[in-house]
Amino acid sequence: MNRTWVIVIAALTAVLVILLFNQVRLARRLDAVMAGNNLATPAPADNGNVERLQRQVDAMEQRLNDLSRRPEMPMEELPPRLTTRIRPNNGLLIAPQAPMIKPLPRGWSPEQATGPPDTMEAGDRSTAWASRNPDSGEEWLKLDYKREVMVAEVRVRETYNPGAIVKVTAVLPGGDEALIWEGTEAPAQAPVDRSFPNPQPIKARSVKVYLDTTKVPGWNEIDAVELVGTDGTRQWAMQATASSSYADVSYPVLR
């Protein structure tokens, strides 16, 4: 039996003792009256008091019996408290925000040339950049990187109809371009990783790849472009733009 029930029973027991004591005192008073040859009938009020006290004593005894037979009740275990974390902002409470979901890049868009390669086999794949039209002449792809470095080489991954690259330049902070390589690519089967070494000291964080799409029939697609620094660092492009894109045809923008 826990501590609470012990205290309750002790209190009820004390009340019962007091009632019994009062009953004994009342009985003695009645005996004294009888001994004094007072044969008068006790006042109704006295009889009422005795009966009332007796009923109170009986009720207390019954309550004590009920409590003594009652099994110990375990304390209720409260469920774990659920809370939602919120952040204070100048005294205001802000509800948690849903995570931002980055949209997927459009197929054949310039964004497909950012990041590491994800086109692992040759073919007309939407995971690589392609110009709006095939065999349309000069096209270019510009790529931006996180850090400016002394350029050691530029590596281009061609995944469909390779051989159309004719020039690679570094884009300087003022917008001017410094030539890294110019010429004709050697024949190769896609996918192929082309290396274009830089023969002169150039510091940049952007490069531009030029194609002559009339050189190789069909779409000439590029999956990724890596910038290698003279300090050995290697970076994949973070942003890309192009002269045109087949995404403008397959994913038209509503105006």
Domain for residue 58, yes or no? yes
Instruction: Return d(Cα 213, Cα 180) in angstroms, integer.
Output: 20
Instruction: Return d(Cα 158, Cα 175) in angstroms, integer.
Output: 26
36 and 156 assigned to the same domain: no
**Global confidence as pTM:** 0.60
Q: In this structure, which amino acid lies at residue 92?
A: L
Q: In this predicted model, what pLDDT tens digit does every residue of 44-98 receive, in sequence order?
A: 445 666 666 676 667 666 666 655 554 444 444 445 544 444 455 555 555 566 6
Question: Range with the lowest mean pLDDT among 42-56, 73-87, 173-187, 204-218?
Answer: 73-87
Structural domain span for residue 140: 110-246
Report how many domains make up the chain. 2
137 and 239 assigned to the same domain: yes
* Residue among 100, 102, 99 at smallest CA distance from 114: 102
Res 10: pLDDT: 74
Instruction: Name which residue leads in pLDDT, 27 or 120.
Output: 120
Picking from 20, 42, 69, the residue at the C-terminal end of a domain is: 69
Domain for residue 200, yes or no? yes
Q: Which burial class, exposed, middle or buried, applies to 61 when counting CB atoms under 10 A from its CB (0-12, 13-18, 19+)?
A: middle
47 and 136 assigned to the same domain: no
Instruction: Return d(Cα 161, Cα 78) in angstroms, integer.
Output: 69
119 and 194 assigned to the same domain: yes
44 and 115 assigned to the same domain: no
20 and 120 assigned to the same domain: no
Domain for residue 85, yes or no? no
122 and 234 assigned to the same domain: yes
Instruction: Return d(Cα 74, Cα 48) in angstroms, integer.
Output: 43
Picking from 53, 69, 85, the residue at the C-terminal end of a domain is: 69
Domain for residue 13, yes or no? yes
Give the mean pLDDT of the chain.
81
Q: Which helix (H) or strand (E) holds 24?
A: helix 3-35
166 and 65 assigned to the same domain: no
Q: Taken in order 250, 163, 110, 118, is the CA torsion positive or negative?
A: positive
CATH of the domain at 212: 2.60.120.260
Q: What is the CA radius of gyration of the chain?
A: 48
Peptide bond into 74 cis (omega under 30): no
The average pLDDT across 187-203 equals 96
Joined together, the tokens standing for residue 50 give 């005795």
117 and 16 assigned to the same domain: no
Instruction: Return d(Cα 130, Cα 239) in angstroms, integer.
Output: 16
Instruction: Name which residue leads in pLDDT, 184 or 37.
Output: 184
Percent of the chain with pLDDT over 90: 55
Picking from 36, 54, 69, the residue at the C-terminal end of a domain is: 69
Domain for residue 74, yes or no? no
Peptide bond into 191 cis (omega under 30): yes
Domain for residue 10, yes or no? yes
205 and 134 assigned to the same domain: yes
Domain for residue 100, yes or no? no
* Residue among 156, 143, 170, 151 at smallest CA distance from 238: 143
Domain for residue 175, yes or no? yes
